[in-house]
Amino acid sequence: MMLPNTLDRYHDRPSSIHDLDPRVKVVVTLLGIFSVLWLPDGAWGAYGLVWCMVLAVALVAQLGVGWVLRRSLVALPFALVAITLVFTLPGQTLFTLQLGGWEIRASDAGLVRFGSVLVRSWLSVQMAILLVATTRIPDLLHALRHLRVPTLLVTILAFMVRYLSVLVDEVTRLLRARQARSAASAQGKAGGSLLWRARIAGNMAGQLFLRSLERSDRIYSAMLARGFRGQYVTVNPHRMRRRDWLALGVALAALGMLQWLGRALS
Amino acid sequence: MNVALLTRLWDEIVVPRLHIPDGFLSLPVALVFWAITVVLLLVAIRKTQQQLGERQIPLMGVMAAFIFAAQMINFPIAGGTSGHLLGGVLAAVMLGPWAGMLVMACVIIVQGLFFQDGGLLVMGANVFNMGLVTAALGSLYHGLAGRRSRGVRLVTAGVLAWLSVVAGALFTALQLGFSGTSPFAVVVPAMLGVHVLIGIGEGLITMAALAFVMQVRPDLVAVEAVRTGGGRGWVVVGLVIALVVAVLSPIASADPDGLERVAIDMGFEEIAAAPPYELLPDYVIPFLGETPLSTILAGVIGALVVALVAFAVGRLLRQRPAAA
């Protein structure tokens, strides 16, 4: 399926990870994230081990460690939500901050919890990145169908992904057209009243809606002409080979060992 | 920090961040919401398959792509911040309740699965907060205003859109609170405060988009065109879900997990013994309550507040046409 470069997260490499059955990759990724979240707070050794595993997969998949690292920073801004933990959990006081008239205390327990939340989240994101970087979207959707996700949902997802780039192009054109017709002053203050600006944005959304609707009509007619019967079919058999089972076994063993180590070490 | 940087932070980090990444919800909370979401999606799939033919499959796929693209539309509010569209109410108004839910779920799934905008294990919670809750609120539109005058319909859609963002933020805050990722006393007021403002942008864009479609293609949004979802029934559905969630989550995490365990390990008992209504003792903001009972209470209160607001708004709008 065609996605512009900015949307497609797949990186084609001739690696054994790319070659694995997508079902194995989906299941291992989900179990991996589950297993990271299951580790106790402050199990730094185990976290480090998970990171080594992530890096090993990234290397085998020939993605480059730096690339995965850069991409993994997307979720970090959410840390804002958890930072209050540092100051609200009771524990040994590490330092105090003067904030206006308030004095807030940072506790060691809060810091450990905050750090653990952050690291676990960061590791989980890297696993998700590895999954989509090594698996084509049609394969991913096909794997979902094998994993008992309802066919209707998967088919809608497939259509959505197919037309995502088309509609993103469309909205980009709308946005560019608006920008081309809007002069801005040096202060960057946009013209018109708030209501007027909101109405323009709403008109754009309405316009996009109508165009999408018409497009879906055309698509349906075209698909009927090509013999569509309610779902996508594939010529890729998606059969589990010996190496797929082997990879699954190795991954499960590694995750089991991780849980044991995480609890034994901390 | 200069103003431009602050507003950029606000725009790019705070505003779109209802998408919870993995790691910020505890396992019990994440799994409970996966279960709720799966059940609701299965119902939605069954209902959609009964009501719609195979013609609707490309329609819903394209509509999901439309919502994804429409979320890129923004408009400047003030000082460099901008209003965005989440789209749940718009989807439910245009497509009906169940199809709207399905479309919104697909949007959130694609954002999480393919773009790491939101985690995989917390996807159930994300789909629930931003897809199911918003579309369910949008479904109230047909029951409340489907047959009223143009103005009432627009205002209803706008208010519901505002409410959907606030409700989504409330659920996100409650989930973060239950997970011990952020204390209720901090995360609930913070999330609500921010999204009460952000919701205004959602309401305005939704109203304008609906007005545009009413003007250009009135047939699409005519009373007969959209299957009425039934107003009252949906209020009950939403309330029941909220209550079940509020009661279930703390029980599910009854074994001292995460924050609770840390609190106990670190001698929380001393602070818990302090007077319950002393705000900010020693400038350490106390938990809204550490026992499951008070956690349940907090959830129930939150759910009731949203339900009451929705109900009051509905009442007001019902009475308005008589006066006008």
Domain boundaries, chain B: 12-253+291-323
Q: Is the pLDDT of residue B231 over 60?
A: no
A256 lies in some domain = yes
Claim to verify: residue A52 and residue A74 sit in the same structural domain: yes
In chain B, % of residues over pLDDT 70: 61
Nearest CA distance, A261 vs chain B (angstrom): 19
- A53 in the same domain as A96: yes
The whole-angstrom separation of Cα A259 and Cα A251 is 13
**Length of chain A measured in residues:** 266
**What per-residue confidence (pLDDT) applies to A7?**
61
Contacts of A50 in chain B (CB under 8 A): none
pLDDT score for A28? 94
The verdict on a CB contact (< 8 Å) between B22 and A120 is yes
Q: Which residues pair with B76 in a beta bridge?
A: B82
**Tokens 């499959």, residue located:** B57
Which segments of A72-193 does DSSP mark as H helices, in order?
79-82, 84-88, 108-134, 137-146, 151-180
CA distance A162 to chain B (A): 9
Any residues with CB less than 8 A from the CB of A72 and at least 6 apart, and which?
A122, A125, A126, A129
pTM (predicted TM-score): 0.79
Choosing among B57, B95, B107, which should be mutated to test the A contact, i.e. which has the most A CBs within 10 A?
B57
Give me the pLDDT at residue B213, please. 92
CA distance A97 to A2: 52
Most A CBs within 10 A among B47, B49, B62, B110, hence the mutation to make, goes to: B62
Higher pLDDT, B227 or B57: B57
Please count the structural domains in chain A: 2
Q: What is the mean pLDDT of residues B17-39?
A: 90
Q: Domain check: are A84 and A47 in the same one? A: yes
Where chain A has pLDDT below 70, the residues are 1-8, 75, 98-103, 183-191, 230-235, 266
Q: Where are the alpha helices (DSSP H) in B2-132?
A: 3-9, 27-51, 56-70, 88-95, 97-115, 123-126
Nearest CA in chain A to B31: A34
Residue A47 lies in a domain: yes
Q: Do A257 and A218 belong to one domain? A: no
Whether B59 shows a pLDDT value over 70: the answer reads yes
Residues A131, A143, single domain; the answer is: no
With beta carbons under 8 A apart, name residues in chain B contacting A171: 69-70, 72-73
Can you give the residue range of the structural domain that contains A223?
A: 136-178+207-233
Q: A2 or B240: whose pLDDT is higher?
A: B240
Token reading at B152: 């009432």
List of chain A residues whose C-beta atoms are within 8 Å of the C-beta of residue B268: 90
Least confident interval from A13-22, B75-84, B179-188, B293-302 = B293-302
Q: Is the pLDDT of residue B80 over 90?
A: no
Q: Let me know if residue A72 belongs to a domain.
A: yes
Residue A184 lies in a domain: no
pLDDT at B277: 38
Q: Has residue A90 been placed in a domain?
A: yes
In a domain, A112, yes or no: yes
Average confidence (pLDDT) over B191-204 = 87
User: Residues A52, A174: one domain?
Assistant: no
Of A75, A160, A202, the CB nearest to B61: A160
- Give the nearest chain A residue to B78 (CA atoms): A189
C-beta atoms of A157 and B106 within 8 A: yes
**Chain B partners within 8 Å of A212 (Cβ):** 62-63, 65-66
**Cα of B154 to nearest chain A Cα, Å:** 12
Indicate the residue of A174, A197, A215 with minimum beta-carbon distance to B76: A197
Interface test with A, best of B13, B15, B75 (most A CBs within 10 A): B75
Q: Is the pLDDT score of B51 beyond 50?
A: yes
Q: State whether A217 and A257 are in the same domain.
A: no
Contacts of A174 in chain B (CB under 8 A): 73
Residue A52 CB-density burial (10 A; 0-12 exposed, 13-18 middle, 19+ buried): exposed
- The Cα B242–Cα B252 span in angstroms is 15
pLDDT value of position B228: 46
Tokens representing B77 are: 């509010």
pLDDT-based confidence at B240, cuts 50/70/90? low
Of B176, B205, B210, the CB nearest to A198: B205
Q: What is the pLDDT of residue A1?
A: 40
| Among candidates A153, A174, A220 on the partner chain, residue whose Cβ is nearest the Cβ of B58 | A220
Q: Are A26 and A152 in contact (CB under 8 A)?
A: no
How far apart are the two ends of chain B, measured CA to CA in Å? 50
Neighboring chain B residues of A121 at a CB cutoff of 8 Å: 21-24, 119
Decide if pLDDT at B285 tops 70: no
How many Å lie between the alpha carbon of A115 and the closest alpha carbon of chain B? 11
Kindly indicate whether the ipTM for this predicted assembly is greater than 0.90, answering yes or no.
no
Q: Which two tokens stand for residue A229?
A: 């019967």
Query: Taking CB atoms and an 8 Å cutoff, what residues of chain A touch B108?
Result: none
Q: In terms of domains, do A57 and A92 share one?
A: yes
> Which residue does chain B place closest to A96, by CA atoms?
B283
The per-residue pLDDT for range B207-218, each reduced to its tens digit, is 999 999 999 888
Q: Which one of A28, A31, A51, A78 makes the best mutation probe of the B interface by having the most chain B beta carbons within 10 Å? A: A78
- Tell me the two tokens of residue B181: 């990722």
* Same domain flag for A122 and A243: yes
Write the CATH number of the domain with boundaries B12-253+291-323: 1.10.1760.20
Q: What is the mean pLDDT of residues B269-290?
A: 38
Q: d(Cα B215, Cα A17) in Å, to the nearest integer?
A: 53
Asked whether residue A124 is domain-assigned, the answer is yes
The pLDDT assigned to B268 comes to 39
- Of the residues A114, A163, A209, the best mutation for testing chain B's interface (the one with the most B CB atoms within 10 Å of its CB) is A209
Say if residue B49's pLDDT is above 70: yes
Contact across the interface for B73 and A171, Cβ inside 8 Å:
yes
- In Å, how far is B1's CA from the nearest CA of chain A? 16
For residues A103 and A147, membership in a common domain is answered with: no
CA A145/CA A23 separation, integer angstroms = 10
More confident residue, A100 or B45: B45
Average pLDDT for residues B172-192, to the nearest whole number? 87
Are both A25 and A130 inside the same structural domain?
Answer: yes
Q: CA-nearest residue of chain A to B52?
A: A152
CB contact under 8 A, B64 and A212: no
| Cβ neighbours, 10 Å, residue A172 | 13
Report percent pLDDT > 90 for chain B: 31
Same domain membership, residue A31 and residue A113: yes
- The answer to whether residue A193 sits within a structural domain is no
For B59-98, give one letter per residue: b (16+ CB within 10 A) or e: bbbbbbbbbbbbbbbbbbbeebbbbbbbbbbbbbbbbbbb
How far does B216 lie from chain A, in Å, by closest CA? 9
Chain A residues with CB under 8 Å of B181 CB are 81-82, 85, 117
Q: How far is B306 from chain A (nearest CA, A)?
A: 22
Q: How many CB atoms lie within 10 A of CB A60?
A: 14
